[in-house]
Amino acid sequence: MDIVLGKTILKALPAHFLHSPSNFHLYDSVSKILFTGDLGAAVFPEYMVLFVEDFESRAKLMEGFHRRYLPCRRPLDKRLETIRGLDIRMIAPQHGVIMEDDKAEKFLE
């Protein structure tokens, strides 16, 4: 579904069962940010950063959350099919750190 805000179009993309049955992601085609809800979320150590600096270290923090809350591969594969065609500059999870450029691409891989 497209949501028109002036000259900007936000895309509401269904992401069913990527933590909850009625979940959706939001893509801003101007800023090229994909807001992913729980996809990309992580359990944090005692410090917090805004942007991913070391993807491999951050991926280890995301792994436990994803295994527990997103355990089924099928909805994830469907979501990846849908977003692969988008020009994504950043991925911004609800409970996580923003992944920019090459880190966003590594996450999608």
- The whole-number pLDDT of residue 47 equals 60
Quote the number of domains for the chain.
1
- The whole-number pLDDT of residue 70 equals 75
- Please tell me the distance from the alpha carbon of residue 44 to that of residue 58, in angstroms, as a whole number: 9
For the chain, list residues with pLDDT below 70: 44-48
- The whole-number pLDDT of residue 99 equals 93
CATH number of the domain within which 88 lies: 3.60.15.10
- The whole-number pLDDT of residue 98 equals 92
* Domain extent at residue 103: 2-108
What pTM value is reported for the model? 0.84
